[in-house]
Amino acid sequence: MVWASNYPVGNSCFIGRIPAYSPELQPAERLWPLINEPIANRSFETLEDLEQALFQRCQVLLEQQVLIRQVTYYHWWPQTSA
């Protein structure tokens, strides 16, 4: 199969290939290691137990905004007021 580098789709859109791993295009992808930390190498009896562990981890991460910013910040992204 041959892929074009840019394939036009209408007047203002095109389909382009992106790298398989491109976290700068989706900064939330860089959060997975932080979220997975408490559940790695563990098994859970129920889905609810897993959800509870993830919920607790998210609660901890909500208090670590500096860490989240360090992991997801790109200097070239537009600045917004929070």
The CA distance from 62 to 65, in Å, is: 6
Provide the 3-class DSSP secondary structure of residue 77.
coil
The CA distance from 35 to 54, in Å, is: 7
pLDDT attached to residue 2: 47
Say what percent of the chain tops pLDDT 70. Answer: 79
For 33, the token pair is: 């290691």
The ranges assigned to domains in the chain are 22-72
Q: Is the pTM of this model over 0.75?
A: no
